[in-house]
Chains A and B, each alone.
Chain A
Amino acid sequence: DTAVSQTPKYLVTQMGNDKSIKCEQNLGHDTMYWYKQDSKKFLKIMFSYNNKELIINETVPNRFSPKSPDKAHLNLHINSLELGDSAVYFCASSQQSSGRETQYFGPGTRLLVL
């Protein structure tokens, strides 16, 4: 009965490959997010979707493409992976998109690009 789940938990891949990570929430929330946490633990938002619509798109390389098939799912596809993409990627969700609602985080996907 995990609230926000991500798959895979660990992902090790070669530079240049394309990979996807998936996120699902069973909280009935309208808004989902992707965050990147670098090796220094600095956490920064990448994208946010509200009811399948993109509402936040930070300066992220266009190799990163989020996709929300429905409001309970937000996937992140990464093309042509680079060494600098190695990080922990966290999915989160909240009831609405005002930024004032509590965000609930998934356990993270640890991506290592070799």
Chain B
Amino acid sequence: GEDVEQSLFLSVREGDSSVINCTYTDSSSTYLYWYKQEPGAGLQLLTYIFSNMDMKQDQRLTVLLNKKDKHLSLRIADTQTGDSAIYFCAESGSSYKLIFGSGTRLLVRP
């Protein structure tokens, strides 16, 4: 079945880089997404990557995809306190729906 896994928690110091990791099982995934959820808010799409790409960069965000290992990562450069949130990895598989990971709670310390 389809499954997406993430580590639950990450703590970094302000100004450092954050790397949030995700693994997925569905090899037919076409797109992989990163969503951000701030406290008490909905999900905000941060970025996505097409499965035939290895990397995508968007300002402070870098997405790396290792399709062989089914591993996706999100790197946030120069992490700010406003980046503190829950980050969800999601895949669109063969069943026309998004499968979400459990979310990684990022805490940025001043």
Contacts and interface: CB of A to CB of B under 8 A. Distances in A.
Interface of A: 4, 33, 40-45, 48, 55-56, 90, 92, 97-100, 102-108
B31 A100 contact: yes
A99 B102 contact: no
Contact of B96 (A55, A106, A107): A55
Interface residues on B, range: 20 to 34
Given A107-B42, A108-B41, A108-B42, A98 B96 contact: yes
10 contacts: A42-B102, A43-B43, A44-B100, A48-B96, A102-B33, A103-B98, A105-B42, A105-B44, A106-B42, A108-B41
Contact of B97 (A4, A56, A102, A105): A56
A105 B43 contact: yes
B86 A41 contact: yes
